[in-house]
Amino acid sequence: MCWQVSSPQEYARGRRELIAHTARSGARLLIVGGPAGTGDDAGSGRVIDTALDTALDLDPALDVALDSTSGASWERPSRVLLPAVRREVHEAQRSGQSVRVLAGMDHLARSQQSLDELITHEMDLGELATQGGTSVVCAYSRLVWSPGVIQDVTAVHSRVVGLEPRAAVFRLTRADADSWNLEGSVGLESLRPFSAAVRGALARTPRARLRCTGLDLVDAAAWRALVESVTQTRGGSLVLEGANETVRTAWRMSGYAGYGAAIEVRG
Amino acid sequence: MTATQPDVAIPGFLHMIYPYAGEQEYLSGTLAYIEHARASGGNVVVAAPPARREALSAALSADAGVTFVDTDALGRNPGRLIPAWQEWIGRLARNGAVHGINESVFSGRSPAHYGELRYQEWLLNLAFARTPALALMCPVDTGGQEETAIEALTRCHPLLWDGAACVPGTAYREDAYVFEPLPELEEPAEQMAYDLGTLHEARQKTLGWAMANGLPSTRARELTLAVSEVAGNSVLYGGGRGTLRLSRQATALVCEMADAGVITDPMVGRIKPPEDQLGGRGLWFVNQLCDLVQIRSAPGQGTRIRLWMDLPPQQA
């Protein structure tokens, strides 16, 4: 889920509600980072001991500090934290607890980061959500991130929340081990997040299936992006399943079936 | 006047009009053309409406070696004719010269359709200018048509088939094609400005309007895709923005898009992109999806593109 946060107060309120709700449900909550300038205890680096001892803060700032002498990149927080979060999730699941993750993206990534990198981080976090009983909320502060970036990253989230949230016009989310759901319409305005999301999907499942029952249309520029993404992925192939007649017609008209990209479009 | 026989040594592309009146004259003229072609060992392709194909087929022996192609399968958009001929010629050209009969139905067409059919005839001269051995004879039924309409068609053909031989045409205009002005659309039901950030909104508006006005969902989505392609071109090449107008006509829905760009290639969207070429498919999609496409573009005036989608008979 992508949470578009308008103010530190909104984040603090939502965070409290999530902690309380998680406590009531008996689940375990991991809080990773937090929006910049919240003035809250998010990102403080201490483990917070809330009701039922279910919340754990993992602070990316510490990892950055540890690595500052070696010119740490901003990728460090997510590289370090993701395995830590994954361990926490596995541990909780072994003890029979479901897990919720609140990821403050203002600390896990930087606003100047390329969209490709950002979507890669998001898809890494999304992998957690595909594991049974885990839900991941990615919080983006509107004070930090440009509206376009916040809109683009929603393409790899299954839900978008916040005050008047802006959502991408397509969505690519994990369905199961080797397949993804592709929904909405993909046009010129979505090429950057679409290419990034498809490359991210192929990086995780080189022989991927895209379930397209919720896909309305794909324009010529987006077909090109799809073909380029597949041909640039060694061993990459895509099967678009459940495509409507318009999508199948557009693929046939494109003639890209003869281009050499391993793409198949089925009804 | 020097007669030119369309033989195997066709000197480039021969494009001729054959005005005829009645089936008898049609058959005598086309059979004479086929006879000349066969005598020179060339391939003969007949692209004509079903009734004409049946009449010709009945008059020819079974081993005449004539290939009949179904023009109905192309749909109503004249913009699909040139790539269709390219495909037909591609299948046969390696076996020698190709002699084609290219008949479109002009009667009963709307003025917009008629105008694009005529433009298509003119564009054939550009499309096949470098084809080494192709003759296209275009029969035109003069019955029920204004004399001015036949004259206008004659201006698109460098040559004339007089029923027995190919002779130079006298009215052909080699200079730039002159379009008649587009008539104003009836009061548009919807209008919006678009740019990159509102492309999706333009698609949603088109889809909702098309379905509300009686277009079946698949056709409505195809019209939406065509609008998306043209609007995307406005964003990329037309100054970054444009205006979309949606207007219901008597038998069709029309989407008009205008922007500040200029299209300089008259063949754009009318040639099938090579499979090994990435990109260049937007207006190709548009011509394959719509029942009629009108493109008007000039320096200082920008570009206006109208996409027509016929309504089902019960909605028209």
pLDDT one-digit tens code per residue, A208-243: 999 999 999 999 999 999 999 999 999 999 999 999
CB-based contact A188 B288, cutoff 8 Å: no
Task: Please choose, from the candidates B232, B236, B188, the residue with its C-alpha nearest in 3D space to the C-alpha of residue B213.
Answer: B188
Task: Please choose, from the candidates A139, A172, A142, A137, the residue with its C-alpha nearest in 3D space to the C-alpha of residue A155.
Answer: A172
Q: What is the CA radius of gyration of chain A?
A: 19
- Helix, strand, or coil (residue B15): strand
Structure tokens given for A184: 């909405």
**Alpha helix segments (H runs only) across chain B:** 22-39, 50-59, 81-92, 111-127, 147-154, 199-212, 217-237, 282-289
Question: Measured between alpha carbons, how far is B195 from B218 in angstroms, rounded to an integer?
Answer: 25
Q: What is the CA radius of gyration of chain B?
A: 21
> Mutate which of B196, B200, B205, B222 to test chain A, going by most A C-beta atoms within 10 A?
B200
Q: What's the CATH code of the domain at B79?
A: 3.40.50.300
Confidence class for position A117, pLDDT limits 50, 70, 90: confident
The reply to whether B137 and B277 lie within a common domain is: no
The reply to whether B17 and B157 lie within a common domain is: yes
Cβ-Cβ contacts under 8 Å for B51 (sequence gap 6 or more): none
Residue of B nearest to A216 (CA): B221
pLDDT: which is higher, A215 or A24: A215
The reply to whether B141 and B234 lie within a common domain is: no
CB-based contact B221 A227, cutoff 8 Å: no
Q: Which of B232, B278, B289 sits opposite A188 (nearest CB)?
A: B232
Q: Which residue has the tokens 């965070």?
A: A15
Q: What domains appear along chain A, each with residue ranges and CATH number?
A: 2-166 (3.40.50), 171-265 (3.30.750.24)
Q: Which of A188, A224, A246 sits opposite B199 (nearest CB)?
A: A188
- DSSP per-residue letters across A201-250: HHHH-SEEEEE-TTEEEE-HHHHHHHHHHHHTSTT-EEEEES--HHHHHH
- Alpha carbon dihedral A19, A21, A27, A28, in 10-degree steps, equals -10
Is residue B315 one of the residues assigned to a domain? no
Q: Which domain holds residue B293?
A: 190-310
Q: Which of B197, B222, B285 sits opposite A220 (nearest CB)?
A: B285
Question: Measured between alpha carbons, how far is A225 from B56 in angstroms, rounded to an integer?
Answer: 47
List chain B residues with CB under 8 Å of A259: 275-276, 278
Residue of B nearest to A187 (CA): B228
Is residue B175 one of the residues assigned to a domain? no
The reply to whether B156 and B218 lie within a common domain is: no
CB-based contact A189 B289, cutoff 8 Å: no
ipTM tops the 0.85 cut? yes
The reply to whether B19 and B99 lie within a common domain is: yes
The reply to whether B31 and B141 lie within a common domain is: yes
Query: How many independent structural domains does chain B possess?
Result: 2
The reply to whether B155 and B196 lie within a common domain is: no
Quick check: B55 contacting A, CB < 8 Å? Answer: no
Per-residue pLDDT averaged across A42-62, rounded? Answer: 42
CA distance A221 to chain B (A): 7
Task: Please choose, from the candidates B57, B127, B60, the residue with its C-alpha nearest in 3D space to the C-alpha of residue B88.
Answer: B127
Question: Measured between alpha carbons, how far is B98 from A154 in angstroms, rounded to an integer?
Answer: 55
Quick check: B22 contacting A, CB < 8 Å? Answer: no
Question: Which of A94-98, B120-124, B310-314 is least confident?
Answer: A94-98
- A58-115 confidence digits (pLDDT tens): 554 443 333 333 333 444 455 666 777 788 888 887 888 888 888 888 877 776 778 8
Question: Measured between alpha carbons, how far is B296 from B303 in angstroms, rounded to an integer?
Answer: 6
Is residue B178 one of the residues assigned to a domain? no
Task: Give percent of chain B above pLDDT 70.
Answer: 95
**What pLDDT shows up at residue A132?**
63
Structure tokens given for B260: 């500040």
List chain B residues with CB under 8 Å of A220: 229, 232, 279, 281-282, 284-285
Is residue B5 one of the residues assigned to a domain? no
The reply to whether B147 and B230 lie within a common domain is: no
CB-based contact A244 B221, cutoff 8 Å: yes
Please return the burial class of B45, using the count of CB atoms within 10 Å of its CB with bins 0-12, 13-18 and 19+: buried
Q: What is the mean pLDDT of chain A?
A: 82
pLDDT: which is higher, A123 or A76: A123
CB-based contact A256 B276, cutoff 8 Å: no
Domain boundary among the residues B134, B168, B202 is at B168
- A141-167 confidence digits (pLDDT tens): 999 999 999 999 999 999 999 998 999
- Helix, strand, or coil (residue A134): strand
List chain A residues with CB under 8 Å of B276: 258-260
The reply to whether B283 and B222 lie within a common domain is: yes
**What pLDDT shows up at residue A131?**
66
List chain B residues with CB under 8 Å of A227: 278
List chain A residues with CB under 8 Å of B225: 217, 219, 246, 250
Is residue B217 one of the residues assigned to a domain? yes
**What pLDDT shows up at residue B4?**
46
The reply to whether B34 and B139 lie within a common domain is: yes
Quick check: B282 contacting A, CB < 8 Å? Answer: yes
The reply to whether B25 and B125 lie within a common domain is: yes
Is residue B62 one of the residues assigned to a domain? yes
CB-based contact A254 B272, cutoff 8 Å: no
Residue of A nearest to B226 (CA): A219
CB-based contact A227 B278, cutoff 8 Å: yes
Report which DSSP code applies to B273. Answer: P
- Alpha carbon dihedral B291, A222, A164, A127, in 10-degree steps, equals 140
Is residue B24 one of the residues assigned to a domain? yes
CA distance B168 to chain A (A): 38
CB-based contact A216 B278, cutoff 8 Å: no
Q: What's the CATH code of the domain at B278?
A: 3.30.565.10
Strands of the A2-5 sheet, one edge to the other: A55-58, A28-32, A99-104, A134-141, A2-5, A160-162
Cβ-Cβ contacts under 8 Å for B292 (sequence gap 6 or more): B76, B77, B78, B79, B112, B113, B116, B252, B306, B307, B308
List chain A residues with CB under 8 Å of B285: 219-220, 250, 253-254
Domain boundary among the residues B168, B198, B215 is at B168
Q: Both ends of chain A: CA-CA distance in Å?
A: 29
Phi, psi of B73 (to 5 degrees): -65, -20
Structure tokens given for A63: 């990892």
Task: Give percent of chain B above pLDDT 90.
Answer: 64
Per-residue pLDDT averaged across B12-40, rounded? Answer: 92
For chains A and B, CB pairs below 8 A equal: 79
The reply to whether B44 and B89 lie within a common domain is: yes
Is residue B183 one of the residues assigned to a domain? no
Phi, psi of A264 (to 5 degrees): -130, 135
Question: Measured between alpha carbons, how far is B32 from A26 in angstroms, rounded to an integer?
Answer: 90
CB-based contact B221 A224, cutoff 8 Å: no
